[in-house]
Amino acid sequence: MGESKLFKKMSKASDKWGESNDCTVKAVAIATGVNYETAHGKCALRGRSYRKGLSESKMRWAMKDLDFVTEVVEGNHKMSPTLWRQKYNSSMTIGSMQRAGIIPKRGVYIVFTRSHVLCVRAGQIHDWTSGRRHRVTSVYHVRRKKQ
């Protein structure tokens, strides 16, 4: 389960800028389809400092600035962490999502773990955590804002 080409492209741009702790920037760029530099700028405008992370709420504002909306995944949606806990009596992880086959083939999702964020797009995890045991804390469905 290696890194996707899109994630490698974002990592290369990140390295060019000498960045670290920029998983939010990469997730925003991949989810919205903008380049790394544009996502970096929007996250900076929402309070992200160089080589620092960004809170969940500020990331959602950065997405809004790019004309995208994020809706929390809950209830009976198959990617809902709450539904997973009820069904399996354990926490959902990146690896368990893959093994259970619950990642939708369509759509874009931002997945938060306790100390990381990643993008799931068109059924593929765009991150280095693919197959890992990072516990999922929240999931957001991402879509373009209606005009």
Residue-level pLDDT, tens digit, the chain, 147 residues: 578 899 999 999 999 999 999 999 999 999 999 999 999 999 999 999 999 999 999 999 999 999 999 999 988 888 888 888 888 888 899 988 888 889 999 999 999 998 999 999 999 999 999 888 899 999 999 999 886
Q: What are the structural domains of the chain?
A: 5-144 (3.90.70)
The model's pTM: 0.90
DSSP-based three-state secondary structure for 122: coil
